[in-house]
């Protein structure tokens, strides 16, 4: 088998595949070149940089050799999954490997937005001592609302409960009676939470889950963390809510336009930002490599 890992692959994953006798190519290809290369591949492994849309799939179908596409990560919105599978190409992801790493990044952003760590760090390096400007809010005894309750959210819930937060969640599949956290309808969850963290895939129609109406329904001073997908929160509405102070702070690892996010968000003093690094830990990348081989 010939495997194209166009966005790279952890060393243990590459070694494991080669130990099975497979050829592994780890070169990144622009779309027009990928359309040629994929015709001679049995498997395509991508992360978030490579987009596997219909033209790429159509190119692969010319030879019919491609049988498997794997997203080395959780979300598969950069792959036209339904179209691929309708044409006999299986699509998989690695949902277990990075969940803990992603939950830890979300927790880091919760700390950052509760105490303005990012802004204070930058301003101190600029010689500013704005101590009184950084009055924060404690996580302990605050209400955390989780939108989506999959693996990552469950890891985060456990960590936040240990910090003394009151954890509530909403999930499209409904309540899980086997967890010690409160289930709330979506409208009630966003109206009562002091902190909100999103843990759902991108919507099929691309529309945001959190827009101007949802932001207006939240408590004044709410803090929001999004380490899931950039199109889940309407960025213009979020900026307006930050400017008015209705949203006190926001932590973002994902953006509508990656890798060139809206500079107004990047430079807003009440926004904590990271460049889509939810799975970027040594441990997570190692687990992803093993799960890819599996």
Give me the active site residues, please: 229, 258, 276
CB distance 53 to 80 below 8 Å: yes
Q: With the CA atoms of 249, 190, 279 and 7 taken in that order, what torsion angle do they form, in degrees rounded to the nearest 10?
A: -100
Under a CB-based contact definition with an 8 Å cutoff, are residues 86 and 283 in contact?
no
Per the CB < 8 A criterion, the answer to whether 196 and 224 are in contact is: yes
CA distance 137 to 36: 54
Q: How far is the C-alpha of 174 from the C-alpha of 177, rounded, in Å?
A: 10
Give the β-pairing of 23-25 and 43-46: unpaired
| Burial (CB count within 10 angstroms: exposed 0-12, middle 13-18, buried 19+), residue 175 | middle
CA–CA gap between residue 217 and residue 36 (Å, rounded): 49
Length of the chain: 294
Instruction: Report residue 25: phi and psi, to 5°.
Output: -105, 125
39 token code pair: 């015709």
Taking the C-alpha atoms of residue 142 and residue 99, their distance in angstroms, rounded to an integer, is 23
Are the C-beta atoms of 48 and 28 separated by less than 8 Å?
no
């Amino acid at each position: 088998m010939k495997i194209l890992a166009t966005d790279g692959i952890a060393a243990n994953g590459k070694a494991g595949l080669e130990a099975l006798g497979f050829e592994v190519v780890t070169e990144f290809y622009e779309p027009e070149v990928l359309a040629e290369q994929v015709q001679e591949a049995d498997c395509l492994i991508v992360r978030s940089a490579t987009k596997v849309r219909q033209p790429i799939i159509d190119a692969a179908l010319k030879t019919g050799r491609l049988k498997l596409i794997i997203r080395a990560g959780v979300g598969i919105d950069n792959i036209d999954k339904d179209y691929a599978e309708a044409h006999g190409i299986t699509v998989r992801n690695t949902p277990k490997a990075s969940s803990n790493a992603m939950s830890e990044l979300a927790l880091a952003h919760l700390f950052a937005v509760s105490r303005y760590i990012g802004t204070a760090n930058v301003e101190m390096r600029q010689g500013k001592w704005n101590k009184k400007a950084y009055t924060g809010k404690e996580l302990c005894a605050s209400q955390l609302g989780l939108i989506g309750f999959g693996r990552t959210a469950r890891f985060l819930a456990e960590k936040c409960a240990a910090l003394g937060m009151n954890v509530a969640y909403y999930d499209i599949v409904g309540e899980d009676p086997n967890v010690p956290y409160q289930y709330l309808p979506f409208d009630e969850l966003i109206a009562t939470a002091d902190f909100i963290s999103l843990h759902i895939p991108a919507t099929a129609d691309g529309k945001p889950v959190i827009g101007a109406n949802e932001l207006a329904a939240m408590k004044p001073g709410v803090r929001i963390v999004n380490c899931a997908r950039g199109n889940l929160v309407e960025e213009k509405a979020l900026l307006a809510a930050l400017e008015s102070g209705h949203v006190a702070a926001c932590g973002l690892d994902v953006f509508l336009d990656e890798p060139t996010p809206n500079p107004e968000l990047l430079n807003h003093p009440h926004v904590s930002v990271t460049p889509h690094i939810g799975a970027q830990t040594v441990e997570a990348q190692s687990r992803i490599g093993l799960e890819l081989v599996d």
